[in-house]
Structure 1
Amino acid sequence: MSDLDNPGPSPEALATPAAEASPAAPAAPVAPATEAPHPRPRARRVLRVTAAVAAAVLLGAGIGVAVIKAGYGDAPAPVAASAPSGRPAAPAPSASPNSYGAWSNGAHFGSLRDLLLPLPAGYQLGPDEGDYGNDTDLTPDQLNSYLDERVKDLPKDKRDQVKAALRAEGRKGAGVRSYRAADGKTVATLWLDQFNQHSVEAESAVIGALSDSGLFRQGPAVPGYPDAHCFLPPLDPGAPLDELDCTAGVGDLLVSMHVEGVAPLPKSEAVSIFRQQLERLAIPGASA
């Protein structure tokens, strides 16, 4: 992502008349170790399928970890998870003077771009997240495309069923923002998905069960948020890049963070970003 200057001519070349000088072979560009990483299709595919499998488990659609392990070719036994039981309706929201935030019943209001964490010190906007840009509150058409992407790696006979169920969860919207560290070594991408908060809680719990299944490497804890889950995909020995994913449910928002960068990742810094995002979404009167 950064260009290297071609080396200048040697002193001998400077002393040779231009007409007699031999053309120098162009230097091959070398990618520096500090350049920002490119998304790795296999890892992104597996992480996307993990979220879809979580929704499918809640449906009883007969989809399990076997779909995820197709991305690796090797994985442990499937994990079972049950759907949540019915709950009483949430109380009416209390008033709030802000243009964005959360009601006391767990519902968030305002633009998802406002709810997303602003750029922390030392970060700038990162690369685009596919066709959705790097700082976006998805339009209805983009949201439909986003749901298509979530199910496209599932078995064909399950896609329509899972997508319909995702819509039945009361999908209100989704927002994304990417963050590139000043040194260019790390990119973090935060997603907010807004839908029925009981489904958010259940889907987050299933993702947590999948992350603890042994399919992934154990990730760091998020201080103050015991229900948040961080995990890392399998890593080939000597791989130059690593990844970290964190998820948590906050009321009617499912919060997801994908971090990719030069190994070893600054995990504590990444977790700090995720924790700050969760704090921004805090529900009045609720404890973490």
Structure 2
Amino acid sequence: MRDADRDPGAVRWEIPEPVASASGKPAEGSLRALFVPYGTDGLRPGPDIENYGNDTEFNERQATAVRAEQLKGMPRKYRDVVEKRRITRLAIRTYLSRETSHGAGEPSYLVEVGVTRFADRGSVRLTVDAYRGMAASDVFDEGPVIKGHKDAVCVRARDDEDDDELVALECVAGIGDLLVSFSATGSDPTDTEGITTLVAKQLGRIGDAGRAV
């Protein structure tokens, strides 16, 4: 839920350059092993996230620092609730939608997926509740429902009617001691169906015990 209070007219969407290849094969039992594989539905490796790469896992100290940076745009009353919860690991990966033919008018999008392991399941529930409260506020517009995952919370960032403007869709869901987050951006009209399909597949891939299924 980054940049919640930004001026939506200040950002323009440009398709980023995908990286040549992703990081090395995830180790068994790592959070990176939980991600939907590249190539699913034509999804490609996305661009690096700042200095972190496009497919990275962080230890507790690193994860806490990365989370603090990611939450800077969240309204203070909700950010305080989230930041108080201890996390032990974090993995992030970016995806670009399948390549489209020039001039075909097909929407393209970029999705950043994060999987965060919390110290306890109660903290995951409290964190999701904080996002749910924010979704019910006037900061965001209501987002789509994720089929098969009724507890997932999705919102749309506010934007104007200029087709060149950045359009953002944010989703979060808790599974056991994991918080799974999605941040999608793209040109309007955004391929909402493609994004929500990835969200559903990612949540379905993670079992209740926090393992890939």
1:245 CA drift (Å) = 0.7
Task: Give the C-alpha shift of residue 202 in structure 1.
Answer: 1.5
1:188 Cα shift? 0.9
Establish whether residue 209 from structure 1 lines up as the match of residue 133 from structure 2.
yes
Q: Against the structure 1 CA distance between its residues 237 and 252, is the aligned structure 2 distance closer, same or farther, given a 3 Å change threshold? A: same
Contact 2:59–2:88, Cα closer than 8 Å, also in 1: no
Q: 1:178, CA displacement in angstroms?
A: 0.5
Among residues 172, 182, 185, which one is paired with 2:88 in the alignment?
A: 172
Residue 9 of structure 1 corresponds to none
Tell me, in whole angstroms, the C-alpha distance in 2 between the residues paired with 1:222 and 1:162.
23
- Provide closer, same or farther for how the CA distance between residues 139 and 131 of structure 1 changes in structure 2, counting only shifts above 3 A: farther
Structure-2 residue corresponding to 1:182:
98
Number of residue pairs matched?
A: 179
**Aligned position for 1:233:** 157
Give the one of 118, 126, 147 matched to 1:223: 147
Displacement of 1:215 in angstroms is: 2.0
Pair 139,199 (structure 1): closer, same or farther in 2 beyond 3 Å: closer
**Aligned equivalent of 1:114, options 15, 19, 33:** 33
Equivalents in 2 of 1:205, 1:264: separation in Å?
29
Between Structure 1 and Structure 2, whose CA radius of gyration is higher?
A: 1
Q: 1:45 aligns to what SS in structure 2? A: coil
Give the superposed CA RMSD: 2.8
Q: What TM-score comes out, normalization by structure 2 length?
A: 0.74
Within 5 A, what are the aligned runs for 1:1-288?
A: 44-46=2-4, 70-71=5-6, 110-119=29-38, 120-150=40-70, 152=72, 163=83, 165-166=84-85, 169=86, 171-183=87-99, 185-195=108-118, 196-240=120-164, 241-283=166-208
Partners of 2:187 and 2:81 in 1: CA distance? 38
Alignment gaps of 5+ in structure 1: 1-42, 47-69, 74-98, 101-109
Structure ranking higher in helix proportion:
1
* CA shift in 2, pair 1:134/1:150, >3 Å: closer
Once the two structures are superposed, residues 253-288 of structure 1 have per-residue CA deviations (whole angstroms, 9 ceiling, x without a partner) of 11100111111111111111001111111226xxxx
State the distance in 2 between where 1:218 and 1:255 align: 19
For 1:131, what is the secondary structure of its paired residue?
coil
Indicate how the Cα distance of structure 1 residues 162 and 211 shifts in structure 2: closer, same or farther if over 3 A, else same. Answer: closer
Counterparts of 1:236 and 1:160 in 2: how far apart (Å)? Answer: 29
Give the % identical residues: 30
In the alignment, is the contact (CA less than 8 A) between 2:3 and 2:74 conserved in 1? no
Alpha-carbon distance in structure 2 between the residues aligned to 1:111 and 1:282: 14
* Cα distance in 1 between the residues matched to 2:184 and 2:36: 15
Distance in 1 between residues matched to 2:72 and 2:80, nearest whole Å: 10
Q: For the residues of structure 2 that align with 1:258 and 1:204, how far apart are their CA atoms?
A: 15
Give the Cα–Cα distance (whole angstroms) in 2 for the partners of residues 217 and 161 of structure 1.
Answer: 21
CA distance in 2, matches of 1:224, 1:236: 31
8 Å CA contact 1:132–1:138 kept in 2: the answer is no
Give the superposition deviation at 1:183: 2.4
The one-letter amino acid of 2:183's match is H
Residues 244 and 260, structure 1, Cα contact 8 Å, conserved in 2: yes
Distance 1:186 1:139, change over 3 A: same
Q: Deviations over 1:179-199 (max 9, x none)?
A: 011226211110011102111
User: More strand per residue: 1 or 2?
Assistant: 2
Aligned residue type for 1:44: R
Contact 2:2 2:70 (C-alpha < 8 Å) held by counterparts: no
